[in-house]
Amino acid sequence: YKKLKDFRSDFLWGASTSAYQVEGAWNEDGKGLSVMDMGHHPEGLADFKVTSDHYHHYKEDIALLAELGLKAYRFSIAWTRIFPEGTGKINEKGLEFYKNLIDEILKYGMEPIVTQYHFDLPYALHQKGGWSNRATIDAYVDYVKVLYDNFGDRVKYWLTINEQNMMILHGAALGIVAPGTENIEKEIYQQNHHMLLAQAKAITLYHEMKLPGKIGPAPNITTIYPETCNPDDVIAAMNWTSIRNWLYLDMCVFGRYNSIAWSYLEERGWTPNIEDGDMAILGAPLAKPDFIAFNYYSTATVAASRNDGSDKAAGADQQIVSGEEGVYRQGENPSLKLTSFGWTVDPTGFRSTLREINDRYNLPLLVTENGLGEYDKLEEGDIVNDDYRIDYLRDHIEQARLAVNDGVDLLGYCPWSAIDLVSTHQGFGKRYGFIYVNREENDLKDMRRIKKKSFGWYNKVIGSNGTDL
Ligand code: BG6
């Protein structure tokens, strides 16, 4: 018997949210519109106007998160509250909201972990070309400078862009390219290049200002399995790993394009234009992150193309190659169960993902999302028996502990989500929180906060530093 290594004594047991999914108050106190406010909402599902109304309930919500025992709370700042037009004049009321929120978090001794940009690009910038326009890079840097100036003394953990890789891989679906664009994928990878530059500049600026904290990226990273041990399937899995995962982190950490991903782009005529000086910005020593944050929910399995007309995209992951015959086909993984929403549940894949990132980059890691979306049921007497969520989280924390034992320097674990909020595409019915919010898709009811069974369980986990699961 060998005793497992413990989680660090200062382990950041946390939980996460994002501004547009939890705050509501979509047009209050001077907030500008974001692409999420203007986006298409699936029929019958909640929009992003009121969500969990955290904007008006933040004191109550933070008190509950303190009672949950959190050491850290990860949230995002809405760019459009600070700069309603994305750039130009600062909206003081927006700054004030986040100043109050951060004070409230600190009051309870919790550590704020702040995402600078979580999908909600200001619509005014989108109208001027969004990330296709290099001016958006400067707007981003101006925006984060305001965050550093105002909160840099008190916020010790900063995340740049949430899931840039998902925005790029779902680019066509999210409508981030202008209608009528000819080579959509090339344009998307041009936008990717600009986001990478914006991120490098934001990290460099943070380091230049010598603020007393750490900063890192927050992509969605997952191990990719080959469907069989056929070597062609192994190559397919390696290719997809580079395109989906390493393209983003190699640039952030090493300042270079991953060669496999670059070849993939070259073969298709999708490489971005790189201007003089870009690679120096991307490779600047101060642009290197202090840690890598990542979101993890499930794994994907791919196979080489069979070139027989049966290829299809490998899950939600591969929208960009969907229909691209001769590239990949979706693999089946018979060893994994699926959630009610069709996502694979793979705790061991969490361990392998932690190990892979650690091996490749040798930096501390921070898990910024992990969790289970379900149709929770509110029972008589304000009870929510979300045992399935407890099982999911327990299995993943166990594997995180094994990864720590394998030598991964894990700074913390922030499940999605702290409190119920609106899912990206699947409304309010797909709940993730430790705290139930009493509303339905289109009926706001009383928005009462109710502790789920997982609330008490997670409190106990935190109290035992992850030993009592
Ligand atoms: C991540 C996002 O992709 O997964 C979150 O960063 C999102 O914003 C979460 O809510 C869960 O996905 P979904 O689609 O179930 O809301």
Q: Per-residue pLDDT tens for 176-210?
A: 777 778 888 899 999 999 999 999 999 999 999 99
| Strand (E) or helix (H) holding 449 | strand 449-451
Q: Is the CB of 373 under 6 A from ligand 1?
A: yes
Q: Kindly tell me the burial class for residue 271, based on how many C-beta atoms sit within 10 Å of its own C-beta (0-12, 13-18, 19 or more).
A: middle
Measured CA to CA in angstroms, residue 105 lies from 64, 91, 241, 312 at distances of 11, 22, 37, 45
User: Is residue 84 pLDDT above 90, yes or no?
Assistant: yes
Distance between Cα 15 and ligand 1 center (Å): 13
Q: What gap in Å lies between CA 157 and CA 72, rounded to an integer?
A: 10
Q: Which residues of 111-132 are buried (b: 16+ CB within 10 A; e: fewer)?
A: bbbbbbbbbbbbbbbbebebbb
Q: Is the CB of 430 under 6 A from ligand 1?
A: yes
C-alpha closest to that of 121 among 131, 111, 132: 131
* SS3 state at 257: coil
Stretch 254-273: mean pLDDT:
94
Q: Whose CA is closest to atom 5 on ligand 1?
A: 424
User: Is residue 283 pLDDT above 80, yes or no?
Assistant: yes
pLDDT score at 41: 78
Stretch 403-414: mean pLDDT:
98
Strand-strand pairing, 300-304 and 224-226: parallel
pLDDT score at 329: 62
Q: Is the CB of 166 under 6 A from ligand 1?
A: yes
Give, for ligand 1, the residue of 416, 422, 430 to mutate: max count of ligand atoms closer than 8 Å to Cβ.
Answer: 416
User: Is residue 164 pLDDT above 50, yes or no?
Assistant: yes
**Count of other CB atoms within 10 angstroms of residue 110:** 21
Q: Is the CB of 71 under 6 A from ligand 1?
A: no
Cα–Cα–Cα angle for 466, 72, 352, rounded to 5 degrees:
50
Q: Is the CB of 233 under 6 A from ligand 1?
A: no
Q: Whose CA is closest to atom 14 on ligand 1?
A: 424
Helix residue spans in 23-90 (DSSP H): 35-38, 54-68, 79-82
pLDDT score at 263: 93
Which positions are annotated as active-site residues? 163, 369
Give, for ligand 1, the residue of 369, 370, 374 to mutate: max count of ligand atoms closer than 8 Å to Cβ.
Answer: 369
Enter the DSSP assignment of 177: S
pLDDT band per the 50, 70, 90 thresholds, residue 1 = low
Tokens in use for 339? 């959630």
Distance between Cα 436 and ligand 1 center (Å): 17
Distance between Cα 423 and ligand 1 center (Å): 6
User: Is residue 272 pLDDT above 70, yes or no?
Assistant: yes
| Strand (E) or helix (H) holding 72 | strand 72-76
The interface predicted TM-score of the complex, written ipTM, equals 0.98
Distance between Cα 103 and ligand 1 center (Å): 27
Rounded percentage of the chain residues whose pLDDT exceeds 90: 84
Q: Is the CB of 51 under 6 A from ligand 1?
A: no
Q: Is the CB of 425 under 6 A from ligand 1?
A: yes
C-alpha closest to that of 246 among 121, 93, 357, 386: 357
Q: Is the CB of 433 under 6 A from ligand 1?
A: no
Q: Whose CA is closest to atom 8 on ligand 1?
A: 424
Q: Is the CB of 369 under 6 A from ligand 1?
A: yes
Q: Whose CA is closest to atom 15 on ligand 1?
A: 423
φ, ψ of residue 262 in degrees (nearest 5): -65, -40
User: Is residue 275 pLDDT above 80, yes or no?
Assistant: yes
* Mean predicted lDDT score pLDDT of the chain: 93
Q: Is the CB of 310 under 6 A from ligand 1?
A: no
Of the ranges 125-129, 181-185, 249-253, which one carries the lowest mean pLDDT score? 181-185
pLDDT score at 322: 37
Distance between Cα 306 and ligand 1 center (Å): 32
Which residues contact residue 357 at a Cβ distance below 8 angstroms, ignoring those fewer than 6 apart? Answer: 221, 249, 292, 294, 365
Distance between Cα 302 and ligand 1 center (Å): 22
Distance between Cα 426 and ligand 1 center (Å): 9
| Strand (E) or helix (H) holding 435 | strand 435-437
pLDDT score at 327: 53
Asked if 115 and 202 count as a contact pair (C-beta separation under 8 A), the reply is no
pLDDT 10s digits, 424-453: 999 999 999 999 999 999 999 999 999 999
Distance between Cα 437 and ligand 1 center (Å): 17
pLDDT 10s digits, 288-345: 999 999 999 999 888 887 766 666 554 434 434 433 444 556 677 999 999 999 899 9
Measured CA to CA in angstroms, residue 144 lies from 264, 378, 450 at distances of 32, 40, 35
Q: Which atom of ligand 1 lies nearest, measured to the CA of 343?
A: 15
Give, for ligand 1, the residue of 423, 425, 428 to mutate: max count of ligand atoms closer than 8 Å to Cβ.
Answer: 423
Enter the DSSP assignment of 380: T
Q: Is the CB of 162 under 6 A from ligand 1?
A: yes
33: amino acid identity, one letter:
L
C-alpha closest to that of 373 among 316, 416, 430: 430
More confident residue, 143 or 236: 143
Strand-strand pairing, 365-369 and 292-295: parallel
pLDDT score at 223: 95
C-alpha closest to that of 138 among 281, 285, 283: 281
pLDDT 10s digits, 59-80: 999 999 999 999 999 999 999 9
Q: Which atom of ligand 1 lies nearest, measured to the CA of 421?
A: 10
Distance between Cα 370 and ligand 1 center (Å): 9
Q: Is the CB of 18 under 6 A from ligand 1?
A: yes
Tokens in use for 468? 């009592």
pLDDT score at 268: 85
pLDDT band per the 50, 70, 90 thresholds, residue 109 = very high
